[in-house]
Amino acid sequence: YNISDYFLLADEVETLSSIVTLSSINLSHSIFESVANSSLTFSSTVSFFTISFLISIFLQIIADSFILKISVLSVLSIILQIYNHSSLSYIISNQIYKNLSRFLIS
């Protein structure tokens, strides 16, 4: 697996979250400018902004969870590499010990 794919996905989610937030702010601003006195428009704008804000928070949570998964995968990968290295050195030291004992017996 390629860890960089996860980083790209997290970046894409963050970018999408920013776009949703900015577009909701721009849309809210233009609606407020065009019809400032309409309570229905105000209610719709507030609802849209709230939904957009919740979506951006949700997308940010998804991005953060990917970053957390990447961190956990990195730590697990390091632990696995250390374990493999230590087991390899154990095998090599056993082979050296066996060869040394054969050499001393001969």
95 within a domain of the structure (yes/no): no
Is residue 42 domain-resident? yes
Domain assignment present for residue 15? The answer is yes
Percentage, residues of the chain above pLDDT 70: 26
Per-residue pLDDT of 50-83, as tens digits, reads 777 788 778 777 777 776 676 667 777 777 777 6
| Closest to 36 measured CA to CA, from 26, 49, 45, 23 | 45
Is residue 83 assigned to a domain?
A: no
Q: Is residue 32 part of a domain?
A: yes
The domain in which residue 53 lies consists of: 3-75
Whether residue 93 lies inside any domain: the answer is: no
Q: What is the pTM of this model?
A: 0.34
Asked, for residue 69, whether it belongs to a domain, the answer is yes
97: in domain: no
Rounded to whole angstroms, what are the CA distances from 74 to 3, 4, 34, 68? 9, 11, 51, 10
> What span, in angstroms and rounded, lies between the C-alpha atoms of 4 and 74?
11
Domains in the chain: how many in total? 1
Q: Distance (Å, rounded) from C-alpha 71 to C-alpha 82?
A: 17
